Amino acid sequence: MFILDGGARLVIPRTELTYPGHSMKLHQTAADPLKAPVDHVMADLEDACPYEFKGEKSRLVMVQALNTLDFGRKVVTVRPNNLRSPFFRGDLEAVVLGAPNRFHGVILPKTRGPEDVREAARLLDEIEPRAGWRYRLQIESLIETPQALLQAHAIATASDRMCGLIFGIADFAATIGVREIVDDQNRNFHYAKQKTVVAAKAAGLHAIDNVYLRLWRTGDPPEKVEAVRRGLRDKNLGAAALGMDGTWVIHPQQAEIANACYTPSAEQVEQARRILALYHAKGGGSMFDPDSGEMIDEATVKIALVDLAKGVQAELAEPAELKAWAEKSRAITGYDILELMRGSQID
């Protein structure tokens, strides 16, 4: 998760909007709270940036956007070209030196192993003091190759700057020779997605699912629009069921549906409250829930704590309420949901 404002604000992104970083117009759209109602924006200097804009042209636009636009409470990140590209170091230096304290993190593409994360972290350690940064940039790494997937946990724990893993389906599919990356993707890539989730969660990081590549256009017939919306919803509900915390989106039109897929409903948050209250009122152990007819025990209470934690981010519950229930659970069982969700960066 992103730890912001000196630890006062924690963000587990439900939606990460990726867009070409060489376009000021797209930066403006990403910053607009109404046009782009997402938790996180990621301006891309890598795959989405045309060859002719690589280097100085895109960097100048990126730095100008970061310094002049108000992104509100969104998490703001930059994806430089990959570490083995001739543009990587120049991209990183340009944005870190040119826009100090104006964004929150770096997306590391084509991560091969933990050594890539350590090299990026070393460069940030070198560059940040030169620009007067008041906080440390965090890193999200893309898991895009079989080599990276096999080392996902080592990548996740390679630096205390790490905050999340992202599954990159297109490059991964190309490497293993799978052509179908839209329909049935949660089945075709079940292992890869859940391994990414397990590696991230074991390290206390968030896990972000890949993009859904279909969009609808103005003028499309209603049945086509509905088919695309349904596919987007099904893909993200399936990814959430695998443990993903959120997803990349490639257009603001995807934000509303995607946000909903990773947000507990008000009813689910209230159910979590009720289970927690009942469980602790009865003194713990295993018990029958008279409302649902289901059995409750310590394991199901942990699920309720996670739902309540996500409810806090959706402003359906207060942080103090979550902290109180988390402390009660920790005092009895040693299980600390807040520590697990924040990883090693929280004291």
Q: Say which amino acid occupies 317.
A: A
Partners of residue 15 on adjacent β-strands: 247
Q: What is the CA radius of gyration of the chain?
A: 21
Q: Which two tokens stand for residue 236?
A: 């993200």
Identify the band that residue 344 occupies on the pLDDT scale cut at 50, 70 and 90.
Answer: very low
Read off the pLDDT of residues 181-209 as tens digits, 9 standing for 90 and up.
999 999 999 999 999 999 999 898 999 99
Query: CA dihedral defined by 346, 9, 97, 37, rounded to 10 degrees?
Result: 140
Q: So what's the pLDDT on residue 341?
A: 62
Reference 273, options 317, 241, 243; nearest CA is 317
Separation between Cα atoms, residue 109 and residue 142, nearest integer Å: 5
Phi then psi for residue 87, to 5 deg, are -95, -10
In terms of residue numbers, what domain contains 114?
2-261
Q: What is the mean pLDDT of the segment spanning 111-129?
A: 97
Is the same domain home to 241 and 279? Answer: no
Separation between Cα atoms, residue 151 and residue 146, nearest integer Å: 9
Q: Is-contact 210 196, C-beta < 8 A?
A: no
Is the same domain home to 180 and 85? Answer: yes
Read off the pLDDT of residues 247-290 as tens digits, 9 standing for 90 and up.
999 999 999 999 999 998 899 999 999 999 998 888 888 888 88
Is the same domain home to 287 and 239? Answer: no
Of the three residues 211, 246, 261, the one that is the final residue of a domain is: 261
Task: Give one DSSP letter per residue of 193-240, joined into a string.
Answer: HHHHHHHHHHTT-EEEE--------TT--HHHHHHHHHHHHHHHHHHH
Is the same domain home to 59 and 15? Answer: yes
Is the same domain home to 104 and 55? Answer: yes
Q: Is-contact 176 218, C-beta < 8 A?
A: no
Q: Any long-range contacts for 321-327 (C-beta under 8 Å, 24+ apart)?
A: 321/273, 325/276
Is the same domain home to 66 and 178? Answer: yes
Is the same domain home to 187 and 311? Answer: no
Q: Inform me whether the pLDDT recorded for 156 exceeds 90.
A: yes
Q: What is the mean pLDDT of the segment spanning 152-178?
A: 96
Q: Are strands 75-79 and 9-11 parallel, antiparallel or unpaired?
A: unpaired
Separation between Cα atoms, residue 123 and residue 295, nearest integer Å: 51
Identify the band that residue 339 occupies on the pLDDT scale cut at 50, 70 and 90.
Answer: low
Provide the domain count of the chain: 2
> At 298, which helix (H) or strand (E)?
helix 298-313
Identify the band that residue 345 occupies on the pLDDT scale cut at 50, 70 and 90.
Answer: very low
Is the same domain home to 228 and 321? Answer: no
Of the three residues 208, 234, 261, the one that is the final residue of a domain is: 261
Is the same domain home to 43 and 131? Answer: yes
Reference 159, options 345, 31, 290; nearest CA is 345
Q: Which range is least confidently modeled, 13-17, 80-84, 93-97, 297-301?
A: 297-301
Is the same domain home to 212 and 280? Answer: no
Is the same domain home to 101 and 238? Answer: yes
- Of residues 59 and 326, more confidence is placed in 59
Q: So what's the pLDDT on residue 297?
A: 85
> Which pTM value belongs to this model?
0.88
Phi then psi for residue 256, to 5 deg, are -60, -50
Read off the pLDDT of residues 285-335 as tens digits, 9 standing for 90 and up.
888 888 888 888 888 888 888 888 888 878 888 888 888 888 888 887 777
Is the same domain home to 310 and 208? Answer: no
Q: Domain containing 137 — which CATH number?
A: 3.20.20.60
Of the three residues 230, 245, 261, the one that is the final residue of a domain is: 261
Task: Evaluate the CA torsion angle 171, 105, 125, 94 in order and state its sign.
Answer: positive
DSSP code of 164? Answer: E
Q: So what's the pLDDT on residue 232?
A: 98
The number of beta carbons lying within 10 Å of the beta carbon of residue 17 is: 25
DSSP code of 345? Answer: G
